[in-house]
Amino acid sequence: MPKITFMGAGSTVFAKNVLGDCLLSEALRDSHIALYDIDEKRLAESEMMLKNINNNVNDNRANIVSYTNRKEALRDAQYVINAIQVGGYEPCTVTDFEIPKKYGLRQTIADTLGIGGIFRGLRTIPVMLDFAKDMEEVCPDAWLLNYTNPMSILTLAMLKATSIKTVGLCHSVQVCASGLLKGLDMEKDHVQWKIAGINHMAWLLEITNNGQDLYPEIKKLALAKEGPHDDMVRYEIMKQFGYYVTESSEHNAEYMPYFIKDRYPELIERFNIPLDEYPRRCVNQIEEWEKQRHELVHNSVLTHERTHEYGSYIIEAMETNQPYKIGGNVMNTGLITNLPSDCVVEVPCLVDRSGVTPCYIGDLPIQLAALNRTNVNVHQLTVEAALTGKKDYIYQAAMLDPHTSSELSIDDIRSMCDDLIGAHGDWLPKYK
């Protein structure tokens, strides 16, 4: 049976979802599950929780072990699930929001793109490369299933700088079509859809019901829907560019230069944009965890129902050779022909015993590829900064970020980057 290593196992709720799913898969019930986290208290809590689930839904068939030695946790693993957050809410997430705010640059989530996404990537890439060194030594043939943001930046760094087989996994693809239809009170059964682009800015290229194109009705209903509601930015993007985007409005509001603008503060209310949303979520999650801890960790009758997370289905498909389709983040080896070859794209992929096989897409509609390229520029330059240690690439990534460059001058961008580098201290390597 396979060895599945979970990096960042102190993320107890997410570990429950992904590893609980594995415990409910007949092909994976006897797995060796290795848990690793630098927070030993949270690690112990996750182990206790998973052992209760293993007992209640799996007759204790899986072998669940916590490790404080990273290399031993990884040794002989066939699958490594990555769900770490480097720097946490405090100090690093707070820094990502508060310093840009001093320059008048406001953000919503700041974990994928924008100045916050750049710096989250810069502090996470070195840790991921350390993981890769260990993996190349003790489990060189393992698949790395990366759930950590910034997804495209981290997956690109792994694929460019290491030999580790890596696929990036997000939640937005599998809920995109159903969420859109639910929000418009449209029928969700018998729907076929096709999605491709980049992570958090992939596009619903097709959506049909028994062969009938649903886009005309979707656009009609979206145009008529009154606000405020949570999809207002995405509806506006669809109205202007013709297609619905996979990730939420609060994310996409900061991936483009049109919505969060100091010169037009009324746009915030008009499009229902939740500024500083991620710090609020962090505070709420920390408070909620205190309420959840006893229910999850000390619940001897805890059970689990399988979720829609890709992780267990990918491992199951590779172990059983029963094909499964995912939306995966992979290197663009000619898959999307009007995006650069050295970037990570999110496309349909077939998973079986041979691994992850991405599907050819061809050209995206030109306006969609253009929007994707503005984000890809930032991905590529952030990775270059991390791999070369050159500070100029950090400045250039920020200067080319759509939201940052639409709000700040070059001098302010450079000064803000310097302030962020200084505030991060030892969370970042030294740049030249």
Domain ranges of the chain: 173-270, 367-427
Known binding-site positions for Mn(2+): 170, 200
Report pLDDT for 101: 98
pLDDT one-digit tens code per residue, 13-46: 999 999 999 999 999 999 999 999 999 999 999 9
From the candidates 171, 251, 304, 379, give the one annotated as an active-site residue: 171
Report pLDDT for 290: 85
> Would you say 46 and 298 are in contact if contact means Cβ atoms under 8 Å apart?
no
Report pLDDT for 294: 86
Which pair of tokens denotes residue 348?
A: 């349909």
Whole-number CA gyration radius for the chain:
21
Work out the burial of residue 283: count CB atoms within 10 Å of its CB; fewer than 13 is exposed, 13-18 middle, 19 or more buried. exposed
Longest dimension (CA), the chain: 62
Residue with tokens 């270059």: 384
Give the distance from CA 426 to its chain's centroid.
24
pLDDT one-digit tens code per residue, 338-361: 999 999 999 999 999 999 999 999
Name residue 356's beta-bridge partners.
351
Which pair of tokens denotes residue 121?
A: 């990537």
> Would you say 7 and 81 are in contact if contact means Cβ atoms under 8 Å apart?
yes
Please list, residue by residue across 75-96, b when 16 or more beta carbons sit within 10 angstroms of its beta carbon and e when fewer do: bebbbbbbbbbbbeeeebbebb
Report pLDDT for 291: 85
Half-sphere exposure of 144 (CA within 13 A, CB side): 33
**Cβ within 8 Å of residue 333, ≥6 positions away:** 341, 358
**Nearest CA among 16, 21, 53 for reference residue 35:** 16
Respond yes or no: is residue 171 known to be catalytic: yes
Residue with tokens 């290795």: 34
> Would you say 22 and 315 are in contact if contact means Cβ atoms under 8 Å apart?
yes
> Would you say 315 and 79 are in contact if contact means Cβ atoms under 8 Å apart?
yes
**Positions of the chain with pLDDT lower than 70, given as ranges:** none
Integer Cα distance of 317 and 130 in angstroms: 28
Half-sphere exposure of 274 (CA within 13 A, CB side): 15
Peptide bond into 365 cis (omega under 30): no
**Cβ within 8 Å of residue 166, ≥6 positions away:** 143, 144, 146, 155, 158, 159
Which pair of tokens denotes residue 432?
A: 């030249």
Integer Cα distance of 187 and 205 in angstroms: 18
